[in-house]
Amino acid sequence: QITLKESGPTVVKPTQTLTLTCTCSGFSLSTGGVGVTWIRQPPGKALEWLALIYWNDDKRYSPSLKSRLTITKDTSKNQVVLTMTSMDPLDTGTYYCAHTIFGEFPLQYGIDVWGQGTTVTVSS
Amino acid sequence: QSALTQPASVSGSPGQSITISCTGTSSDVDNYNLVSWYQQAPGKAPKLIVYEVTKRPSGVSNRFSGSKSGNTASLTISGLQAEDEADYYCCSYAGRDTFLLFGGGTKLTVL
């Protein structure tokens, strides 16, 4: 059974850097085709895609946030880490990590398993 | 790149069918058969209900069906049930640079 769980601070101050960890189980980050993606959702608003990392360390970022985001993976711990710099109150929301597969095409089978999400509040 | 466009809300009575549209551009929805749909109940994580425009994951009811025409994808829910009341999001691959776009979400109310 594939599961993902997000962890990190619940509150960060403006201008600080946010570091979130996604701990994955039921699959290996080194298995061909595997990808882990981060998506966020401000309170009462829509989902917003942030970043994705594949088994081969290929990475993709949202163009609007690319300068602030870094996604990495630790295969030995089966974890994916997302860092976001220069945090602002507008970055407040729930952050999800999720599993996907690169079949013949990117995200061919959708984002099929989601973590429960972790809530981050940006406030001084 | 702008988000995909969805109606803010739709409603229907139990047993009826509803359709939610998702409008993109020639760079995303129209260019790739990589549209997926997600159902999000209040306070819960999204759940995949359709991928590759028309396919359903194992365990998802066949009351959910997806389609696409040009730059507009659609999700149809037939035989509406109270448990279908949720927010629904479309998502499309948008090429190597933009990569992935979500719609603004549609709130479904079962009357």
Share of chain B above pLDDT 90, in %: 95
- Residue B27: is its pLDDT beyond 90? yes
Task: Count A/B contacts: CB-CB distance under 8 Å.
Answer: 71
* pLDDT tens digits, one per residue of B39-69: 999 999 999 999 999 999 999 999 999 999 9
* pLDDT tens digits, one per residue of A41-89: 999 999 999 999 999 999 999 999 999 999 999 999 999 999 999 999 9
Binary contact (A47, B105; C-beta < 8 A) = yes
Q: What does the alpha-carbon distance between residue A16 and residue A84 come to, in Å, rounded to a whole number?
A: 9
- Residue A117: is its pLDDT beyond 70? yes
Binary contact (A107, B93; C-beta < 8 A) = yes
* pLDDT tens digits, one per residue of A14-44: 999 999 999 999 999 999 999 999 999 999 9
pLDDT in the model for residue B2: 73
Q: B81 near B35, Cβ under 8 Å?
A: no
DSSP designation for A115: -
Nearest chain A residue to B36 by CA distance is A110
| Mutant choice from A41, A50, A99, A101 vs B, greatest count of B C-beta within 10 A | A41
User: Residue A91, Cα to own-chain centre: how many angstroms?
Assistant: 14
Sign of CA dihedral B22, B25, B27, B29: positive
- Residue A101: is its pLDDT beyond 80? yes
Q: A8 near A83, Cβ under 8 Å?
A: no
Binary contact (B3, A46; C-beta < 8 A) = yes
Task: Tally the C-alpha atoms within 13 A of residue A111's C-alpha that lie toward its C-beta.
Answer: 29
Identify all chain B residues contacting A60, using CB atoms and an 8 Å cutoff.
Answer: 96, 99-100
| Cβ atoms within 10 Å of A58's Cβ, excluding its own | 11
pLDDT in the model for residue A7: 98
Alpha-carbon gap: B80 to the closest alpha carbon of chain A (Å): 23
A41 contacts: CB under 8 Å, gap ≥ 6? A47, A48, A93, A94, A96, A117
- Residue B1: is its pLDDT beyond 80? no
Q: What does the alpha-carbon distance between residue B33 and residue B63 come to, in Å, rounded to a whole number?
A: 21
Binary contact (B102, A46; C-beta < 8 A) = yes
* Closest listed residue to residue A56, CA positions, set A37, A21, A31: A31
Single-letter amino acid code for the residue at B28: D
